[in-house]
């Protein structure tokens, strides 16, 4: 396998070194991710992301990222941002896609293009309180990858499966995650 010529832009060597380092320092592997949201008006909010904690100390992104969220006009809102449920799809898409690049790099597979289309089905009878048997969230999310890479389809499928197996957002959405909501 001509692994030496493969470059998907992922520094797998650094990740493998981090894994070895964290094996001996499990406390450093404990991360806290943060977001700070301010209501604007109606269903419109702005959420900022910059600081996080990990490797035993405070960290921050190079820049602050800011995200507008809103509901669309069909819900009598101003449509000033993506909906909250679309942000979940953004997180899932980007997590699986980053994983595909990392796993492909680790397996010596050169990627040429990776595209993912996501669809989440939701019955609004849940959030509108019409039918208490209908859940509020997605009934089902479908992710369809279209990948052009220097590998047979079976190997590409195995890369996607491994990305899914190690994906943080896949796990958060597919499995129950404890959430505590407080008012101060």
Return the residues of window 125-154 that contact its own copies according to CB under 8 A: 125-131, 135-147, 153
**Residue whose CB is less far from its own copies, 109 or 111:** 111
Q: What is the 3-state secondary structure (H, E, C) of 72-98?
A: CHHHCCCCCCECHHHHHHHHHHHHHHH
4 interacts with its own copies by CB under 8 A = no
Measured between alpha carbons, how far is 75 from 54 in angstroms, rounded to an integer? 39
Rounded to a whole number of angstroms, the minimum distance from the CB of residue 163 to its own copies is 9
Name the DSSP class of 173.
H
Binding map of its own copies across residues 103-122, x = CB under 8 A, - = no contact:
--------x-xxxxxxxxxx
Rounded to a whole number of angstroms, the minimum distance from the CB of residue 12 to its own copies is 9
**Residue whose CB is less far from its own copies, 108 or 120:** 120
Measured between alpha carbons, how far is 82 from 161 in angstroms, rounded to an integer? 28
CA 102 to chain centre: 14
81 near 126, Cβ under 8 Å? no
Binding map of its own copies across residues 15-54, x = CB under 8 A, - = no contact:
x--xx--xx--x--xxxxxxxxxxx-xxxxx-x-x--x-x
Number of residues that bind its own copies (CB under 8 A): 126
Interface with its own copies (CB under 8 A), residue from 56, 95, 109, 151: 95
Rounded to a whole number of angstroms, the minimum distance from the CB of residue 2 to its own copies is 20
The residues in 51-70 that bind its own copies, with binding defined as CB under 8 A, are 52, 54-55, 59, 61-62, 65, 67, 69-70
CA dihedral in degrees (32, 48, 19, 1; nearest 10)?
160
169 near 91, Cβ under 8 Å? yes
6 interacts with its own copies by CB under 8 A = no
Backbone angles phi, psi at 44, to 5 degrees: -90, 130
Residue with structure tokens 């450093």?
28
**Residue whose CB is less far from its own copies, 4 or 60:** 60
């Amino acid at each position: 396998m001509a692994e030496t010529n493969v470059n998907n832009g992922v520094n797998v060597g650094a990740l493998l070194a981090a894994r070895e380092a964290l094996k001996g320092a499990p406390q450093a592997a404990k991360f806290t991710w943060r977001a700070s949201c301010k209501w604007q008006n109606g269903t419109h909010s702005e959420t900022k992301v910059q600081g996080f904690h990990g490797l035993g100390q405070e960290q921050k992104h190079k820049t602050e990222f800011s995200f507008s969220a809103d509901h669309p006009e069909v819900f009598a809102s101003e449509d000033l941002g993506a909906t909250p449920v679309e942000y979940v799809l953004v997180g899932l898409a980007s997590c699986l896609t980053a994983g595909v690049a990392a796993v492909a790099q680790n397996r010596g597979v050169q990627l040429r293009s990776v595209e993912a289309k996501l669809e989440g089905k939701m019955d609004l009878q849940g959030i509108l309180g019409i039918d208490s048997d209908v859940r509020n969230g997605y009934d089902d999310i479908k992710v369809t990858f279209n990948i052009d890479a220097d590998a047979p389809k079976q190997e590409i499928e195995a890369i996607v499966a491994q990305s899914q197996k190690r994906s943080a957002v896949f796990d958060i959405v597919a499995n129950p995650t404890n959430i505590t909501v407080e008012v101060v």
